[in-house]
Amino acid sequence: MFPSFGTDGVRGLANEVLTPDVSVALGRAAAEVLGGKRVVIGRDTRRSGHMIEAGLIAGYTSAGVDVDLLGVVPTPAVAWASLGDDVSGAMISASHNPFADNGIKLFAPGGNKLGDEVEASIQERFHELLGGAVFPGPTGADIGIMRNDPATASVDGWIELITNSVAPRAFAGHRFVLDCANGAASGWAADIFGALGADITVIGDAPDGININSGCGSTHPEILQAATVEAGASAGLAFDGDADRLIAVDHTGAIVDGDRILAILAADWKATERLNHNTVVVTVMSNLGFHRAMAAADINVATTGVGDRYVLEELGRGGFSLGGEQSGHVICRDLAGTGDGILAAVQLMDAVIRSDQPLASLASNSMTTVPQVLKNVRFSVRDPDIVNKMAPDVEKASAEMGDDGRVLVRASGTEPLVRVMVEHVDATVADRVCDELCDRARELIPPNPA
């Protein structure tokens, strides 16, 4: 069974699912489908990053593409470095996953995430190569080369983009705690916030190859919560392993998730005339409370499927400037072509400081979260039609709850399970309806093949 693209590239256990052979095949397939004569490759701090990087180098250069290594950088820095018409990008990271996993995210020339058709073409070619198909490549002087030269692999422009997006030294006199998840934000986030005049305390900034996301970062904010309160900081800011995701913490230690970050930015950008077409783009996972808050603020909401690439597609289609996910992917489309945790943190803190209110007040007033229950039902075998089978039950539950609730049922794209999410203003109702739908899913599970 060959690895396939998920919602954000190819990901799996390094050296078991994501092997050097897989990396070589994927690099060559990407080079052949995306074209161009140059690729920039970045990685996070995982121990397996060098191994996968070596495979990608072999794959790209065997297809005649020159490789420039960026080293350890955030994913958005790779997207920025691939903005050229003839330059593609590859980021080696498994984002918020444990260190033993790794992954490869690809960017088309122009710094864009792959569309479905392009991704399918790369996957087809990738699987052909893994299956042993032989495709003669360039020879002689047409073989690509690898460079590790700061002059050709600089991301200074990405740093300038972030620091220039707010006033000079906009954070002078303000204290923040930064949690870099022992990942790709290490070093970068501290330098950027320092350049903007902030007084900073940094945690999760000592990567050793195996401690990425370990008890730290956006998926484990407990240490950040305590450190923010102890430091008397205005806010704490946590990134994930590849720094394309942000979760914030206010001065009391309360978590400010992606929905609240987007709600704060949407209101600020509307007031400052940056919110294109008065619209913010989110996925179906955003809380019902977010939608109610945006309606009250007279801000339109466009909703997409789960995955930041679908948010990006909608942002581009509608010419919108702001979007993201509840999980903390925030896309400032007027500034960058992909989610960027550090950029989002800078934009959020700038909005907070200009409001002359603490983050706690802005977050509390931005929306009222509707209780949400999310449960998984695992199958013995995957049933891709389970959502359609459950549609009558979902429709009945939705009608019962009316405007006070919402139901979302999704089949996992990679595992034999269905995810059931129910929101309702009454938490007991949300829990009851979710349990009923989970029971119904179990009744519809296909029998375990003998």
- Residue 447: its pLDDT value, please? 60
Q: State the pairing for strand pair 372-378/246-250.
A: unpaired
Domains 10-154 and 157-366 share a fold: yes
Q: Is 176 helix (H, G, I), strand (E, B) or coil?
A: strand
- Strands annotated E in 74-113: 87-92, 101-108, 112-113
Per-domain boundaries in the chain: 10-154, 157-366, 372-444
Q: Is 348 helix (H, G, I), strand (E, B) or coil?
A: helix
355 is catalytic: no
Q: Topology of domain 10-154, per CATH?
A: Alpha-D-Glucose-1,6-Bisphosphate; Chain A, domain 3 (3.40.120)
Cα–Cα nearest to 396, from 364, 440, 427, 355: 440
Residue-level pLDDT, tens digit, the chain, 450 residues: 677 887 668 899 999 999 999 999 999 999 999 998 999 999 999 999 999 999 999 999 999 999 999 999 999 999 999 998 799 999 999 998 899 999 999 999 999 888 889 999 999 998 999 888 777 889 899 999 999 877 777 899 999 999 999 999 999 999 999 999 999 999 999 999 999 999 999 999 999 999 999 999 999 999 999 999 999 999 999 999 999 999 999 999 999 999 999 999 999 999 999 999 999 999 999 999 999 999 999 999 999 988 888 999 999 999 999 999 999 999 999 999 899 999 999 999 999 999 999 999 999 999 999 999 999 998 877 777 888 999 999 999 999 999 999 999 988 766 788 899 999 999 999 999 999 999 999 988 766 554
- Residue 4: its pLDDT value, please? 81
Are 110 and 338 contacting, i.e. CB atoms less than 8 angstroms apart?
no
Note the residue count of the chain: 450
Residue with tokens 């190859």: 209
Residue with tokens 């906009």: 170
- DSSP letter, residue 93: -
- Residue 414: its pLDDT value, please? 62
pTM of the model: 0.92
Q: Topology of domain 157-366, per CATH?
A: Alpha-D-Glucose-1,6-Bisphosphate; Chain A, domain 3 (3.40.120)
Quick one: which H or E segment has residue 79? helix 75-81
Q: Topology of domain 372-444, per CATH?
A: TATA-Binding Protein (3.30.310)
The one catalytic residue in 23, 82, 88, 95 is 95
